Amino acid sequence: MINLEVPKKAGALINQAYQAAAEVFRPISRKYDRAEHTYPAELDMFAALLDGLNSSGEGGAGAAGVRRSKDENEKGNRNGANLNVVLGTIEMCWGDVGLLLSMPRQGLGNAAIGSVATDEQLERFSGMWAAMAITEPSCGSDSAAITATARLDGDHYVLNGEKIFVTSGERADAVVVWATLDKTKGRAAIKSFVVEKGTPGFEVVRVEHKLGIRASDTAVLRFENCRVPKENLLGTPEIDTAKGFAGVMQTFDNTRPLVAAMAIGVARAALEETKRILSEAGVEIDYDRPANAQHAAAAEYLKLEADYESAYLLTLESAWMADNRKPNSLQASMAKAKAGRSVVDIALKCVELTGAYGEESLLEKWARDAKILDIFEGTQQIQQLIVARRILGKSSAELK
């Protein structure tokens, strides 16, 4: 069973990530929120440090992905790279979630490569910054409705289609693109491909203006007769209708805990700042007294903190399960759903509790940043649908 204490061996990593968040991210957070679409050059040196942590096997604060053990007979529990990445991500997003999403080689595409690529692909794509391109103009939450196509032509796949809301789509070195090999075969034919920048037929159409995470670029991409080497397909090229969509969807089991961790970091930042402002206003939170016997603001704060704790524990559980070779699809969706909803509720309520003081701090920015964490990597509604399917043992058709 999961131990609710953070492993002692993760202490150094957590401390390093916290120091970086406090001394690198926080001081430039407002600067790049205002200077949208400007690349934060301060991140280059820090990204190199994270590369070293990830390559050493200690795990950094970025999207390193989950490599499950190939030894089915391996026994015992272990706290591995995935838990470390989640813990590091929490600390970094306590500093600034938009800046973490801007980190070179720490994109969600890197998590996909790190999780499902072959050993040869891992080596070939080492050092590459990869974004993830799934959503389309006519395909939002239903990833199975993807219309982008990939047709095998000799030693290459020819990709055609358009992708929207691609985080780091302009800045990244490559994009992991979801496309279908055969529309008549349904979900089983959807595969992911690593498409490098500069490939003929690959165009960045525009970069979007956004409410939050403004330090991070979000792009629209177009693929027109884009030829990608067949060796760049992640996973098997075989269309297995029996296995269905499970192969490519495994990526989400690995990235959703990371997004949940981002939400945890932002929520903790908002709670800590709110507690400081309330304390300066003479409102103290007393954990030894019933909430209804305290100031109304203190009572509300205690509710928010309880919400935060439950999301935090769900997130750790989903990471721990991945490290210990346990299927975590249900827990990953539960963590993402809870953390995504909680961070929005917490950030908005913290702005409400602090009033005008929130404008003088980063609270209003965190409230804007929070909303995307309930949307990308699967919306709140999609997570609830997945949880219902898993618990009830029903298909999507049976739940309609």
Same domain, 379 and 308: yes
Q: What is the pLDDT of residues 319-350, one digit of tens each?
A: 988 888 888 999 999 999 999 999 999 999 99
Question: What residue type is 395 in one-letter code?
Answer: S
Query: Is the pLDDT at 289 greater than 60, yes or no?
Result: yes
> Residue 54 has what pLDDT?
56
> Residue 140 has what pLDDT?
74
DSSP string, 240-276: -TTTTTHHHHHHHHHHHHHHHHHHHHHHHHHHHHHHH
Same domain, 22 and 79: yes
Q: What is the pLDDT of residues 142-176, one digit of tens each?
A: 777 899 999 999 999 999 999 999 999 999 999 99
Residue 348's domain comprises: 246-392
> Residue 32 has what pLDDT?
96
Query: Is the pLDDT at 130 greater than 60, yes or no?
Result: yes
CATH code of residue 152: 2.40.110.10
Choose one of 98, 124, 150: the last residue of a domain: 124
Q: How many domains does the chain fold into?
A: 3
Residue 239 placed within a domain: no
Residues 6+ apart with CB under 8 A from 31: none
Catalytic residue among 136, 162, 317, 377: 377
Same domain, 177 and 282: no
247: confidence class by pLDDT, cuts 50, 70, 90: low
Choose one of 211, 234, 257: the last residue of a domain: 234
Of the listed ranges 23-37, 53-67, 123-137, 240-254, the least confidently predicted one is 53-67
6: confidence class by pLDDT, cuts 50, 70, 90: confident
Same domain, 341 and 288: yes
Mean pLDDT, to the nearest integer, of 350-368? Answer: 90
Same domain, 263 and 385: yes
Query: Is the pLDDT at 56 greater than 60, yes or no?
Result: no
In this structure, what token pair is assigned to residue 224?
Answer: 């027109």
Same domain, 119 and 17: yes
In this structure, what token pair is assigned to residue 244?
Answer: 């269905």
Query: Is the pLDDT at 252 greater than 60, yes or no?
Result: yes
Choose one of 234, 263, 288: the last residue of a domain: 234
Residue 141 placed within a domain: yes
Q: What is the pLDDT of residues 67-121, one digit of tens each?
A: 554 555 555 555 577 888 899 999 999 999 999 999 888 777 888 888 788 889 9
Residue 3 placed within a domain: no
**Is 5 in the active site?**
no
Select the more confidently predicted residue: 150 or 246. Answer: 150
Q: How far apart are alpha carbons 4 and 224 in whole angstroms? A: 49
Same domain, 135 and 112: no
